Structure 1
Amino acid sequence: MNDALLRELVPAVIGALVRRGADFAAAEDAVQDALVEAVRVWPDDVPRDPKGWLLTVAWRKFLDAARADTSRRHREVRVEAEPVPGPAEAVDDTLRLYFLC
Protein backbone atom coordinates (compact mmCIF):
# COMPACT_ATOMS: atom_id res chain seq x y z
CA MET A 1 0.00 0.00 0.00
CA ASN A 2 1.31 3.42 -0.93
CA ASP A 3 0.92 6.10 1.77
CA ALA A 4 1.51 8.89 -0.74
CA LEU A 5 -1.36 7.59 -2.87
CA LEU A 6 -3.68 7.59 0.13
CA ARG A 7 -2.66 11.12 1.13
CA GLU A 8 -3.44 12.24 -2.40
CA LEU A 9 -6.84 10.51 -2.48
CA VAL A 10 -8.17 11.58 0.93
CA PRO A 11 -9.07 15.20 0.03
CA ALA A 12 -10.76 14.07 -3.19
CA VAL A 13 -12.83 11.45 -1.37
CA ILE A 14 -13.82 13.89 1.40
CA GLY A 15 -14.84 16.40 -1.26
CA ALA A 16 -16.93 13.81 -3.08
CA LEU A 17 -18.75 12.88 0.13
CA VAL A 18 -19.45 16.53 0.92
CA ARG A 19 -20.82 17.02 -2.61
CA ARG A 20 -23.09 14.01 -2.03
CA GLY A 21 -24.56 15.65 1.07
CA ALA A 22 -22.37 14.67 4.01
CA ASP A 23 -21.27 17.40 6.37
CA PHE A 24 -17.50 17.89 6.53
CA ALA A 25 -16.96 16.28 9.96
CA ALA A 26 -19.04 13.22 9.05
CA ALA A 27 -17.19 12.93 5.74
CA GLU A 28 -13.84 13.03 7.54
CA ASP A 29 -15.00 10.34 9.97
CA ALA A 30 -16.25 8.13 7.13
CA VAL A 31 -13.01 8.51 5.17
CA GLN A 32 -11.00 7.70 8.28
CA ASP A 33 -13.06 4.52 8.76
CA ALA A 34 -12.54 3.67 5.09
CA LEU A 35 -8.78 4.14 5.48
CA VAL A 36 -8.78 1.77 8.45
CA GLU A 37 -10.61 -0.74 6.28
CA ALA A 38 -8.09 -0.16 3.47
CA VAL A 39 -5.19 -0.89 5.81
CA ARG A 40 -6.94 -4.11 6.80
CA VAL A 41 -7.90 -5.20 3.26
CA TRP A 42 -5.05 -3.88 1.10
CA PRO A 43 -1.95 -5.26 2.82
CA ASP A 44 -0.44 -6.66 -0.37
CA ASP A 45 -2.62 -5.70 -3.31
CA VAL A 46 -4.11 -2.29 -4.08
CA PRO A 47 -7.42 -2.47 -6.01
CA ARG A 48 -7.54 -1.41 -9.66
CA ASP A 49 -9.41 1.78 -8.74
CA PRO A 50 -8.31 2.82 -5.23
CA LYS A 51 -10.23 6.12 -5.35
CA GLY A 52 -13.43 4.33 -6.34
CA TRP A 53 -12.89 1.74 -3.62
CA LEU A 54 -12.27 4.41 -0.96
CA LEU A 55 -15.24 6.46 -2.14
CA THR A 56 -17.58 3.47 -2.07
CA VAL A 57 -16.45 2.28 1.36
CA ALA A 58 -16.46 5.81 2.82
CA TRP A 59 -19.97 6.48 1.48
CA ARG A 60 -21.22 3.22 2.99
CA LYS A 61 -19.53 4.06 6.31
CA PHE A 62 -21.19 7.50 6.20
CA LEU A 63 -24.62 5.97 5.51
CA ASP A 64 -24.17 3.44 8.34
CA ALA A 65 -23.24 6.22 10.77
CA ALA A 66 -26.15 8.40 9.62
CA ARG A 67 -28.62 5.52 10.04
CA ALA A 68 -27.25 4.71 13.48
CA ASP A 69 -27.53 8.36 14.51
CA THR A 70 -31.11 8.60 13.24
CA SER A 71 -32.05 5.38 15.01
CA ARG A 72 -30.49 6.63 18.26
CA ARG A 73 -32.40 9.91 18.02
CA HIS A 74 -35.69 8.06 17.45
CA ARG A 75 -35.05 5.91 20.53
CA GLU A 76 -34.31 9.02 22.60
CA VAL A 77 -37.54 10.68 21.42
CA ARG A 78 -39.56 7.58 22.31
CA VAL A 79 -38.02 7.43 25.78
CA GLU A 80 -38.70 11.13 26.36
CA ALA A 81 -42.32 10.68 25.23
CA GLU A 82 -43.02 7.92 27.76
CA PRO A 83 -44.96 9.10 30.80
CA VAL A 84 -42.93 9.60 33.91
CA PRO A 85 -43.94 7.14 36.61
CA GLY A 86 -45.78 8.93 39.39
CA PRO A 87 -45.38 8.34 43.09
CA ALA A 88 -46.65 5.01 44.31
CA GLU A 89 -49.98 5.14 46.04
CA ALA A 90 -49.65 4.76 49.74
CA VAL A 91 -51.56 1.66 50.71
CA ASP A 92 -52.94 1.56 54.22
CA ASP A 93 -53.24 -2.06 55.28
CA THR A 94 -54.48 -1.17 58.75
CA LEU A 95 -58.14 -1.70 57.93
CA ARG A 96 -57.46 -5.01 56.18
CA LEU A 97 -55.40 -6.22 59.16
CA TYR A 98 -58.19 -5.14 61.52
CA PHE A 99 -60.73 -7.34 59.73
CA LEU A 100 -58.35 -10.30 59.60
CA CYS A 101 -58.04 -10.40 63.39
Structure 2
Amino acid sequence: MTLFEKWKKEFDAWEVRAADLSKKVLGSPLVLEPTGALLTAAMRTKARTDRVLGDVWSAVGLPNRRDQERTLRMLTVLERRVIDLEEKLEDAHEELRRARGETR
Protein backbone atom coordinates (compact mmCIF):
# COMPACT_ATOMS: atom_id res chain seq x y z
CA MET A 1 0.00 0.00 0.00
CA THR A 2 1.41 3.37 -1.04
CA LEU A 3 1.65 6.35 1.24
CA PHE A 4 -1.16 8.07 -0.65
CA GLU A 5 -3.47 5.05 -0.40
CA LYS A 6 -2.81 4.88 3.33
CA TRP A 7 -3.52 8.58 3.72
CA LYS A 8 -6.69 8.28 1.59
CA LYS A 9 -7.96 5.38 3.71
CA GLU A 10 -7.41 7.36 6.92
CA PHE A 11 -8.99 10.45 5.42
CA ASP A 12 -12.09 8.50 4.33
CA ALA A 13 -12.45 7.06 7.84
CA TRP A 14 -12.08 10.53 9.35
CA GLU A 15 -14.64 11.92 6.90
CA VAL A 16 -17.23 9.29 7.90
CA ARG A 17 -16.70 10.00 11.60
CA ALA A 18 -16.83 13.76 11.03
CA ALA A 19 -20.05 13.46 9.01
CA ASP A 20 -21.72 11.41 11.74
CA LEU A 21 -20.67 13.87 14.42
CA SER A 22 -21.78 16.83 12.30
CA LYS A 23 -25.21 15.28 11.78
CA LYS A 24 -25.63 14.76 15.51
CA VAL A 25 -24.44 18.23 16.47
CA LEU A 26 -26.16 20.19 13.71
CA GLY A 27 -29.40 18.23 14.13
CA SER A 28 -29.55 18.86 17.85
CA PRO A 29 -32.23 21.24 19.15
CA LEU A 30 -29.50 22.79 21.30
CA VAL A 31 -27.91 24.05 18.07
CA LEU A 32 -30.95 24.43 15.81
CA GLU A 33 -33.09 26.59 18.11
CA PRO A 34 -30.49 29.31 18.82
CA THR A 35 -29.36 29.27 15.20
CA GLY A 36 -32.95 29.66 14.02
CA ALA A 37 -33.53 32.49 16.47
CA LEU A 38 -30.34 34.20 15.29
CA LEU A 39 -31.34 33.85 11.65
CA THR A 40 -34.84 35.20 12.39
CA ALA A 41 -33.37 38.19 14.22
CA ALA A 42 -30.95 38.85 11.37
CA MET A 43 -33.76 38.76 8.78
CA ARG A 44 -35.94 41.10 10.87
CA THR A 45 -32.99 43.48 11.24
CA LYS A 46 -32.40 43.40 7.49
CA ALA A 47 -36.07 44.10 6.76
CA ARG A 48 -36.09 46.98 9.24
CA THR A 49 -32.86 48.38 7.76
CA ASP A 50 -34.28 48.14 4.23
CA ARG A 51 -37.40 50.04 5.32
CA VAL A 52 -35.35 52.76 7.04
CA LEU A 53 -33.03 53.15 4.06
CA GLY A 54 -36.03 53.33 1.72
CA ASP A 55 -37.50 56.09 3.88
CA VAL A 56 -34.15 57.93 3.88
CA TRP A 57 -33.91 57.72 0.09
CA SER A 58 -37.48 59.00 -0.23
CA ALA A 59 -36.84 61.85 2.22
CA VAL A 60 -33.80 62.92 0.20
CA GLY A 61 -35.91 62.79 -2.94
CA LEU A 62 -34.20 59.83 -4.55
CA PRO A 63 -36.05 56.75 -5.79
CA ASN A 64 -35.77 53.66 -3.64
CA ARG A 65 -35.31 50.18 -5.07
CA ARG A 66 -39.04 49.55 -5.48
CA ASP A 67 -39.45 52.85 -7.35
CA GLN A 68 -36.53 51.98 -9.62
CA GLU A 69 -37.92 48.52 -10.35
CA ARG A 70 -41.37 49.96 -11.10
CA THR A 71 -39.82 52.56 -13.45
CA LEU A 72 -37.73 49.91 -15.19
CA ARG A 73 -40.82 47.75 -15.67
CA MET A 74 -42.75 50.68 -17.18
CA LEU A 75 -39.83 51.53 -19.47
CA THR A 76 -39.67 47.92 -20.64
CA VAL A 77 -43.41 47.92 -21.39
CA LEU A 78 -43.12 51.23 -23.26
CA GLU A 79 -40.12 49.98 -25.23
CA ARG A 80 -42.03 46.86 -26.26
CA ARG A 81 -45.02 48.99 -27.34
CA VAL A 82 -42.78 51.30 -29.40
CA ILE A 83 -41.20 48.29 -31.10
CA ASP A 84 -44.67 46.87 -31.85
CA LEU A 85 -45.81 50.22 -33.28
CA GLU A 86 -42.67 50.46 -35.43
CA GLU A 87 -43.37 46.98 -36.81
CA LYS A 88 -47.01 47.89 -37.54
CA LEU A 89 -45.93 51.14 -39.21
CA GLU A 90 -43.40 49.29 -41.35
CA ASP A 91 -46.09 46.76 -42.35
CA ALA A 92 -48.48 49.60 -43.23
CA HIS A 93 -45.81 51.30 -45.36
CA GLU A 94 -45.12 48.02 -47.10
CA GLU A 95 -48.83 47.52 -47.87
CA LEU A 96 -49.08 51.09 -49.16
CA ARG A 97 -46.08 50.55 -51.44
CA ARG A 98 -47.60 47.34 -52.78
CA ALA A 99 -50.96 49.04 -53.32
CA ARG A 100 -49.23 51.78 -55.34
CA GLY A 101 -47.22 49.22 -57.25
CA GLU A 102 -43.93 50.55 -55.95
CA THR A 103 -40.96 48.35 -55.27
CA ARG A 104 -38.24 48.99 -52.81
TM-score, structure 1 normalization: 0.34
Structure with greater helix share of residues: 2
Query: Rg larger in 1 or in 2?
Result: 2
TM-score, structure 2 normalization: 0.33
**Which structure has more RCO (C-alpha within 8 Å, separation ≥ 6)?**
1
